[in-house]
Every structure is written in structure tokens, then in C-alpha cells.
A = this chain, B = another copy of it.
Amino acid sequence: MSTPDPVVGDLTEGEILAGILDRLAPSRALLGPGDDAAVLAVPGGRIVASVDTLVHGPDFRLAWSSATDLGWKAAAVNLADIAAMGARPTALLVALAMPDTTPVSFVHRLADGLRSACDELAPGATVEGGDLTVSDTLTIAVTALGVLEGVEPVTRSGAQPGDVVAVCGAMGEAARGLSLLFERFRVDGRPVPVSGLTEADVALVGAQLRPRPPIAFGAVAAAHGATAMMDVSDGLALDAGRIARASRVTIELRADALGQDPATALAGGEDHALLATFPAARGPAPGFRLVGAVHARGDHPLLVDGEPYRGRSGWDPYRDWDSASG
């Protein structure tokens, strides 16, 4: 006889919370979890704040993602938004809404994933607050907070004609991992049997399920004088086009700089690489590689090898998701 795995409906909110707090890193805040709100020191007097949500169905499937993967990804994608401003992430607030049939062990592994991502990608960032509620749809909304250490925030709108365009981090790998998952594990409802995958395939699936955005390089880029920056969440084409529109310039990318699969790098999202522009005289920051150049505004916001980009342009949740097919 095995002991049944308790579900969150068997425990009080306080008991569930205690199990989560046991797994998180010790608070670094002036006042951490347990009161009405957290209180955080903000050296420099400016806070950078962002929120992003992972929803069961459109954003993840439990047949593919483990609870640890989900916690990791929820942290990673939000840390990337803070890094993309040139800031250093300091704290996360995690709002977790889940069915009362969710195993308590699932919640614990999710907390493990949050902690691992913070420890490995953004040392010094900790979960400092959150909210537990019940929902028919498992939903993880993470707010990330960060500080600017002596630099100005790097927006999307500062790219200048003559700047170089550079990327730090993976391009297209998460999308290729997603394609693998769709092609090979569409309806079996079981975790991915990695024994049947090549080592390269395992890495691509990992890039989708546990992305590793180069968080520390956001502040590096800002200190190096980046004129514009964002994290690539919806594909290089869509996100480079966003910088071009916000900055009123044209961006030209070189396909031969986009790795072995330029089409996927352009159209595939979720790597959360950092895309930035730098004055040509300074060149890219350490860790960034050149992928293109900024021109005066032309007829098209985005060129690839001199031609207007006509390919697929990344993910829009209200166009691309059909819950009936999910």
C-alpha cells in the first residue's frame, strides 16, 4: 500500500504556503513573505516592474512540461523582461491559481523550479511574495522586479541609424524544440520519452521547456551603451520589427548571422534572447554577436539581406491559439 499523494484541496492555504516557502531561497527583502505585502530595498530610487502569465493550454501542456519545468519557465521569462531593460532582477511575486485536485507534490516541484531558475539565471533574485487561489485552469502569473545599477533603462525606442544590431542567447532553439514536441508527442498524454531522442533533440526540447535567457547580459548591454533592447519572446522578426517601429528606423538582419536555421530564428519565439542595438563606434557588448544594422527609416521596418521580410511573424495569443484544438 502506498500513501496517496495529497492534493491541494486536502490542505489549508497556510499549509500549502508553508510547503512552498520551505523550498524557496531565504528572503533578501526588508520584509519577505507572510504579511500583506513585501517591502524591498530599491537602491537608486527606481524600480523596474513587469508581469507575465503562463496558462495551461495556450502556454504549456502538462504532458510535456514537468512542474519543475513550469516553475523554471515562469521565472525565466519574467527575469528576461527585467534584463531587457538593462536592470538586475531582485524579486519575484508569484500568483498561482490551480485546481484543488492539483497534487501538493506538484506545487512543491513548481517551487523548486522557481528557485532553480533564480539561482542559476539571476543569482540574488528571490521569490518575495505571491498569492494562492483555486481555479479550473492552472495559471502562473509572475511579477518581476529589478533595479537599475547606475544606468538608464534601455527602451525599444532608442535605436539610431548607423547602430549595429546584436543578439545574446539562443535563436530559434525553443521553436525547434516545440516543433519536435508537436511532431513526435502530439496526443500520447505522457511525458516526453527522452530515450528515443538524439542528444541534439533533447537540447532543443530543453530550450523550449526550460529556456535559459542570458539575464546577466542585460545590465552588461546597458553599461556598454545599448541604445535599444528587448527580449525575443515572439520571434526575431516580430521583435526586431517592434524596435524598428518604436525607434522609427529600419532594421536589416543578415540571414547568415542567424545560425543554421535562419527561418526558425526569425519566426520562432520563446528563446528570450536579448536583442539590442549599439552605436557602431562601440560595437556589440561582450556576449553579443552581430546580426545586422540600423538604417534610416525606409518603406519597411524590417529587411533581411536587403529584402522586406515576408515570412511568418511570431506568436499572437489571440490569433494563434484555438482552445478547441489545445
- Is A136 an interface residue, CB under 8 A from the partner? yes
Which residue in chain B gives the minimum CB-CB distance to A50? B37
Which stretch, A89-97, A160-168, A202-210, A253-261, touches the partner chain B? A89-97
Option from B30, B100, B316 in Cβ contact (under 8 Å) with A12: B316
Answer whether A133 and B55 are a contact pair too, CB < 8 Å, given A13-B316, A153-B31: yes
CB–CB B57/A318 < 8 A? no
B residues near A130, Cβ cutoff 8 Å:
51
Task: Give the docked Cα–Cα distance between A94 and B52 (Å).
Answer: 9
Among A53, A80, A134, A155, residue most surrounded by chain B Cβ atoms (within 10 Å): A134
Option from B36, B93, B137, B148 in Cβ contact (under 8 Å) with A230: B36
Give the Cβ gap from A274 to chain B, nearest Cβ, in Å.
Answer: 10
Which stretch, A20-28, A113-121, A138-146, touches the partner chain B? A138-146
- Is A81 an interface residue, CB under 8 A from the partner? yes
- Give the size range of A's interface with the partner: 35 or more
CB–CB A318/B8 < 8 A? yes
CB–CB B153/A30 < 8 A? yes
A interface list, Cβ under 8 A from B: 8-9, 11-13, 16, 30-31, 34-53, 55-59, 80-82, 84-85, 87, 91, 93-95, 97, 99-100, 128-137, 139, 141, 143-146, 148, 153, 155-157, 230-231, 246, 316-319, 321-323
A-B contact list, 8 entries, CB within 8 Å: A37-B144, A38-B48, A38-B50, A40-B46, A49-B129, A49-B145, A50-B129, A56-B135
